[in-house]
Chain A
Amino acid sequence: MTDPTTIRVDQYLAHPPAKVWRALTDSDLIARWLMPNDFAPVVGHQFTFHTDPRPRQGFDGVVHCEVLAVDPQRLLRWAWRGGGLDTMVTWTLAAEGRGTRLLLEHSGFDPDDPVQRQTFTILDGGWRSHVWRRIEQVLDAASG
């Protein structure tokens, strides 16, 4: 059953957890793969990400964050607020072979939001797990 409030992305990276941890917690490095920021790996630290505004979605381009948990090379959690979202981003690292299994969970999406509610109606009934990957393959084939 799909959890309608959480996005999960799981990825293997061919780099050790210490290195992945640096890329996740160094402000300059984060800016290179995510967004400009004033992050510091200190619980309670408040920081922002800056990106392009999306007026149609009511998003001014600023994500207001707060560091909620820091467990070096294992877990990092931010509050993620902006554009009507009040959500949480959790990074979990685990050594796997010579690399790292990195799990991203973006949780706290509101099932009562009308846009998201329609999304979840579609996602219900195993739609996501059973069909979504195949549709992605169709899209890949169609664009190839």
Chain B
Amino acid sequence: MAEPDVFAALANPTRREVLRLLREQGEQPVQRLADHFDMRRPSLSEHLRVLKDAGLVVEQPVGRQRLYSLRPEPLREVADWLTPYERFWRARLAHLRDVLDGMPDD
């Protein structure tokens, strides 16, 4: 079961956007992330701290910068928990496809 702070971290649209940017563009410094948002950098730093506490991002100092990157493992826990029935049906429909492939047409 995922920790509650993962859910709290994901409930905010800015933080979800940060995760999307990190996924699509790879690791990057806070200033490059800040360029995407209309907010003061301390506010963004607070969002990054929440994501870090939830284990969704990691920061690595490189020279004078701090690079942020996505850590997807907690998302898997959320995904397992979030839509069990959707996962159930997707798996069953894959089986249905196999059954159909093995059936005669009439």
Contact = CB atoms under 8 A, between A and B. Distances in A.
Interface in B85-106: 85-86, 89-90, 92-93, 95-101, 103, 105-106
A139 to B, nearest CB: 6
Interface in B53-78: 70, 72-73, 75-76, 78
Given A15-B100, A19-B106, A139-B76, A9 B82 contact: no
Contacts of B90: 9
A60 B23 CA distance: 40
B100 A106 contact: no
Interface in A1-38: 7, 9, 11, 13, 15-16, 18-20, 22-23, 29, 32-34
Interface of A is mostly: helix
A19 B101 CA distance: 10
A23 B72 contact: no
A136 interface: yes
**How many interface residues does chain A have, given as a range?**
35 or more
Contacts of A20: 100
A138 interface: yes
Nearest to B73: A142
